[in-house]
């Protein structure tokens, strides 16, 4: 059962030292298998493991028993059961999550990620693809190209995998007919061109029967190309190309065991480094020279892309986690506005304008995304990856959008550098990874539009008015009494000769924000604009009072971040839904309950109460007058 291509049992038995030497110098190839449900991905991997003797007798005995019990291959061994490791997968007979499997031949060690075919598990497919050097795209010879084939080909190309094998599987079920194979290859070539795939290696196989897996099959004499394993053993791995690019390393950790040692630890993304090399620390731009490459086994003369090292500098330059060390004469740029492709991976749709954490390399910043320029139609039968108009991105959607970050980040286009071009977005409330993205380029605007420094400063404005600017941000359910109390507060402040301005929700929606509705995305944009206006007014020295439902915590926090420290005062007008609905001054609750009004906060749209507001007004125990006095007491102690 062992094929000679995988392991030379004779050499192992006779000369283990020699075998170990050979094995020590093996390279590694990481690849994924993808394609539609039932195209035979798991079976192919099961076959590779079985042929390479990575399945042991005890596992085989368990597999045989399982195959008879729950297998889909009659009395024969169902290899898919080897890789579908979760109980839910075995019950449903589908692959939900990526499984990583390992095997080795004489020349290479392989890590194969078996990725799920179902569209609902796309994020798991992308997870597997992101670390792969090569993709094996399977097609059922009886079915030809399917929606999932197109989708996975697009994702594979998007994630930057340049080595693609088109494995036309189940050839045994079409009588090893060359015409069937040629037709599928021609169809795929036309589709591949349309999405930008320039080259792929087609081969006719049967994972179940073993044709063209380890060597040429007698069943396909018309096929002259390599068998799958031969191809996997010889194809060039991506990391080799990274070594020829300019030097870049993201700093993970500063190593300071004592006052005499300061090293910068990280994994080299591209290029190589030697002691004596001139480097530049970004984004600061400070330069120095490498003195040592430190490891537990002694200093190195050189380190290359892919290695994890610790570098020492000749000078005491400021450098910490998130910084990038780069070749001094060829550094990457820093920017804060970009165009990017985004793969949305969360059940909750993307909200343009909301702030998310963005992690790229070892940098963590706050980012906001604009409304997508377009969404890619990856299920398009024509295969052109045509563009669809989109206001947001939903689960598994792929789109292109501009985004901006609150700080400059050191970056390179994803096509040039995966480490400095690939990012993830993290929801600030749930901490879930909600998207993956790839930077295309920075926007010129960011490079050329500089902040206009004015001579009359915000302190001067405030000084003229003899007051400290602030934002009193009222939040609460509709009908809680926000506008009433805000009005009272403003009247009282006016009597105290304070310069104020009240921004009211309803009023703003008649003008500045009259283009916005009440979807989640529009609510976010509404608050963002109000926040920006409030910020300009505080620069002018005003005390700004705002009265908006502002139901989402994330947006209130976003506005808080915009303001100077201490100037944002969150006022929660806390009333129960029952009380607010009983009052129903504008008759809105009645309308919402009857279904005439959609997306109404508290009814069919959530209200996220502040966790720790500066001021909380409990309307059950305070009158509007008492509340206004309490707020002023907090503002002007």
* Minimum separation from the CB atom of position 48 to other proteins (A): 14
Query: Which residue, 7 or 157, has its beta carbon nearer to other proteins?
Result: 7
Give the binding range for other proteins (CB under 8 A) out of 191-199, 334-342, 355-363, 529-537: 355-363
Query: Which residue, 87 or 453, has its beta carbon nearer to other proteins?
Result: 87
Say how far apart CA 493 and CA 470 lie, in whole Å: 13
109 binds other proteins (CB under 8 A): yes
Query: Which residue, 93 or 144, has its beta carbon nearer to other proteins?
Result: 93
* Minimum separation from the CB atom of position 430 to other proteins (A): 7
273 binds other proteins (CB under 8 A): no
Catalytic residue among 328, 550, 594, 605: 550
In DSSP notation, 540-605 reads TT-EEEEE-----HHHHHHHHHHSPTT-EEEEEEE--HHHHHHH-TTSHHHHHHTTSS-S-BTTTB
* Minimum separation from the CB atom of position 535 to other proteins (A): 27
Site for other proteins in 223-252 (CB under 8 A): 237, 239-240, 243-244, 252
330 binds other proteins (CB under 8 A): no
Among 52, 149, 214, 419, the residue binding other proteins under the rule CB under 8 A is 419
In DSSP notation, 475-491 reads E--TTSSHHHHHHHHHH
Report the C-alpha dihedral over residues 584, 585, 590, 596, rounded to 10 degrees. -130
* Minimum separation from the CB atom of position 527 to other proteins (A): 23
Give the binding range for other proteins (CB under 8 A) out of 373-381, 415-423, 439-447, 527-535: 415-423
Q: Name the phi and psi angles at 523, rounded to 5.
A: -65, -40
* Minimum separation from the CB atom of position 287 to other proteins (A): 25
Contacts of 476 (CB under 8 A, 6+ apart): 482, 549, 572, 573, 574, 575
Query: Which residue, 231 or 498, has its beta carbon nearer to other proteins?
Result: 231
* Minimum separation from the CB atom of position 306 to other proteins (A): 5
Say how far apart CA 138 and CA 145 lie, in whole Å: 9
Give the binding range for other proteins (CB under 8 A) out of 119-127, 223-231, 463-471, 495-503: 119-127
Query: Which residue, 108 or 162, has its beta carbon nearer to other proteins?
Result: 108
101 binds other proteins (CB under 8 A): yes
261 binds other proteins (CB under 8 A): yes
Among 124, 478, 483, 619, the residue binding other proteins under the rule CB under 8 A is 124
Query: Which residue, 173 or 424, has its beta carbon nearer to other proteins?
Result: 424
Give the binding range for other proteins (CB under 8 A) out of 174-182, 298-306, 539-547, 563-571: 298-306
- Report the interhelical angle of 553-562 vs 520-539 (nearest 10°): 20
Tokens found for residue 116: 């799920």
* Minimum separation from the CB atom of position 16 to other proteins (A): 4
Contact (Cβ atoms closer than 8 angstroms) between residue 338 and residue 365? no
Report the C-alpha dihedral over residues 507, 511, 513, 516, rounded to 10 degrees. 100
570 binds other proteins (CB under 8 A): no
Contact (Cβ atoms closer than 8 angstroms) between residue 586 and residue 511? no
x/- mask, other proteins, residues 57-96, rule CB under 8 A, reads xxx--x---x---------------xxxxxxx-x-----x
Query: Which residue, 21 or 590, has its beta carbon nearer to other proteins?
Result: 21
Among 362, 500, 601, 619, the residue binding other proteins under the rule CB under 8 A is 362
Interstrand relation of 253-255 and 272-273 (parallel, antiparallel or unpaired) = unpaired
Query: Which residue, 27 or 623, has its beta carbon nearer to other proteins?
Result: 27
Q: Tokens 């102690």, residue?
A: 637
> How far is the CA of 372 from the CAs of 345, 426, 443, in angstroms?
15, 18, 15
Is 272 among the catalytic positions? no
Give the binding range for other proteins (CB under 8 A) out of 10-18, 455-463, 532-540, 592-600: 10-18
275 binds other proteins (CB under 8 A): no
Say how far apart CA 436 and CA 345 lie, in whole Å: 8
Q: Name the phi and psi angles at 264, rounded to 5.
A: -120, 115
Q: Tokens 């790839």, residue?
A: 438
436 binds other proteins (CB under 8 A): yes
> How far is the CA of 415 from the CAs of 151, 161, 249, 424, in angstroms?
20, 10, 17, 16
Query: How many Cα atoms are found within 13 Å in the side-chain-facing hemisphere of 550?
Result: 29
Element (H, E) at 369: strand 363-369
289 binds other proteins (CB under 8 A): no
Among 102, 222, 374, 460, the residue binding other proteins under the rule CB under 8 A is 102
331 DSSP 8-state letter: P
372 alpha-carbon distance from chain centroid: 16
Among 213, 305, 311, 628, the residue binding other proteins under the rule CB under 8 A is 305
* Minimum separation from the CB atom of position 241 to other proteins (A): 9
Return the closest-CA partner of residue 432 out of 368, 361, 331, 356: 356
Q: Which residues are known catalytic residues?
A: 550
């Amino acid at each position: 059962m062992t094929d000679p291509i995988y392991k030379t049992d004779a050499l192992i038995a006779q000369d283990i030292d020699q075998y170990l030497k050979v094995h020590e110098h093996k390279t590694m190839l990481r690849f994924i298998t993808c394609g539609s449900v039932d195209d035979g991905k798991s079976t192919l991997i099961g076959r590779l493991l079985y042929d390479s003797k990575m399945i042991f007798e005890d596992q085989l005995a368990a597999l045989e028993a399982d195959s008879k019990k729950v297998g889909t291959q009659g009395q024969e061994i169902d290899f898919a059961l080897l890789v579908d490791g979760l109980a839910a997968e075995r019950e449903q007979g589908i692959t939900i999550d990526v499984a990583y499997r390992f095997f080795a031949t004489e020349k290479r060690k392989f890590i194969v990620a078996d990725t799920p075919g179902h569209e609902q598990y796309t994020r798991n497919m992308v997870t597997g693809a992101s670390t792969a050097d090569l993709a094996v795209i399977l097609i059922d010879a009886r079915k030809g190209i399917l929606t999932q084939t197109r989708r996975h080909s697009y994702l594979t190309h998007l994630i930057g995998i340049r080595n693609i094998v088109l494995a036309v599987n189940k050839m045994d079920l079409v009588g090893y007919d060359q015409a069937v194979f040629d037709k599928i290859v021609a169809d795929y070539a036309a589709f591949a061109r349309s999405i930008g795939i320039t080259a792929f290696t087609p081969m006719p196989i049967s994972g179940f029967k073993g044709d063209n897996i380890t060597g040429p099959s007698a069943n396909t004499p018309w096929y002259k190309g390599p068998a799958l394993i031969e191809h996997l053993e010889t194809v060039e791995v991506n990391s080799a190309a990274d070594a020829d690019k300019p030097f870049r390393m993201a700093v993970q950790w500063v190593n300071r065991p004592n006052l005499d040692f300061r090293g910068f630890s990280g994994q080299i993304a591209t290029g190589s480094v030697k002691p004596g090399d001139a480097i530049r620390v970004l984004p600061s731009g400070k330069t120095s020279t490498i003195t040592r490459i430190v490891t537990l086994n002694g200093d190195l003369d050189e380190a290359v892309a892919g290695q994890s090292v610790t570098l020492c500098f000749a000078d005491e330059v400021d450098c910490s986690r998130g910084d990038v060390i780069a070749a001094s004469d060829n550094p990457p740029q820093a920017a804060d506005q970009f165009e990017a492709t985004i793969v949305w991976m969360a059940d909750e749709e993307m909200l343009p304008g909301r702030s998310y954490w963005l992690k790229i390399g070892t940098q963590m910043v706050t980012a906001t995304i604009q409304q997508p320029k377009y969404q890619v139609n990856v299920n398009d039968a024509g295969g052109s990856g045509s563009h669809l108009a989109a206001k947001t991105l939903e689960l598994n959607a792929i789109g292109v959008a501009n985004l901006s970050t609150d700080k400059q980040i050191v970056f390179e286009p994803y096509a040039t550098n995966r480490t400095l071009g690939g990012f993830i977005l993290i929801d600030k409330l749930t901490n879930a990874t909600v998207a993956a993205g790839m930077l295309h380029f920075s926007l010129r605007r960011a490079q050329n539009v500089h902040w206009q420094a004015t001579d009359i400063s915000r302190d001067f404005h405030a000084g003229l008015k003899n007051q400290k600017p602030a934002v009193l941000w009222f939040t609460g359910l509709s009908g809680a009494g926000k506008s009433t109390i805000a009005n009272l507060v403003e009247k009282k402040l006016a009597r105290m000769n304070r310069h104020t301005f009240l921004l009211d929700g309803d009023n703003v929606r008649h003008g500045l924000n009259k283009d916005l509705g009440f979807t989640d995305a529009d609510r976010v944009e509404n608050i963002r604009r109000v926040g920006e206006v409030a910020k300009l007014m505080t620069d002018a020295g005003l005390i700004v009072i705002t009265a908006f439902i502002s139901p989402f915590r994330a947006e209130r926090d976003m506005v808080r971040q915009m303001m100077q420290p201490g100037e944002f005062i969150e006022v929660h007008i806390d009333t129960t839904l029952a009380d607010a609905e009983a009052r129903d001054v504008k008759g809105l609750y009645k309308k919402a309950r009857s279904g005439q009004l959609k997306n109404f906060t508290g009814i069919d749209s959530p209200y996220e109460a502040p966790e720790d507001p500066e001021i909380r007004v409990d309307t059950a125990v305070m009158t509007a007058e008492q509340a206004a006095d309490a707020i002023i007491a907090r503002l002007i102690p």
